[in-house]
Amino acid sequence: MTERLLTIEEVCVKLGGVKPWTIRGWVSQRRIPFTKVGRLTRYPEAQINDWIRSNTRVPLGA
């Protein structure tokens, strides 16, 4: 089974409305996982989910 690759629009929705230019900036800074398919930039869903989990912070006192 192959891993699902998300478009930039799908990543924006998954991240709660982050703008595409923000995602593109993170790609250029290598802050978010991505892969290139020819000239297209795609985002492996499992890695994006892991990235979200690893960047989630628990509030103090919780």
Residue 60's SS3 state is coil
Instruction: Please state the pTM of the whole predicted model.
Output: 0.86
Question: What local confidence, expressed as pLDDT, does residue 1 receive?
Answer: 55
Q: Which DSSP symbol is given to 57? A: -
What is the DSSP track for 5-56?
EE-HHHHHHHTTS--HHHHHHHHHTT-S--EEETTEEEEEHHHHHHHHHHT-
pLDDT digits (tens, 9 = 90+) for 5-51: 999 999 999 999 999 999 999 999 999 999 999 999 999 999 999 99
